[in-house]
Amino acid sequence: MAPKTLARIGAIAFVAVAITATVIELTRKEERPEAAMPRPAQTGAADPLREELFRCQSLGEAGPRDPACLRAWAESRRRFLSPGTARPQTGSGLPSSIGEIRSRGAAPGGE
């Protein structure tokens, strides 16, 4: 076979593979956004702060304007930055319920 013929056959094969890949990609079904970000499994007693943070996350752009979310984020930062503080314990000064998180004043820093 002549080199020109081999080049044409190679080009046709390349185009056929590209078209096949495109058709397969276009016919694939889209994944739902909920399936892309699964929530972690609940273990033991539920942490009210964690539930509040999930609620704030679901608010989207309204979250930064919600005073309860600002307090929850401030408490989350405080827990994260405080050494040795893993989970709230009774009498530790940490909020024990979502209502307590919401009942606290504005977030630190005058936000």
pLDDT of 92 over the 60 cut = no
State the pLDDT at residue 15.
Answer: 97
8 Å CB contact between 76 and 94: no
Say whether pLDDT at 51 is over 60.
yes
Q: What is the pLDDT of residues 62-74, one digit of tens each?
A: 888 999 999 999 9
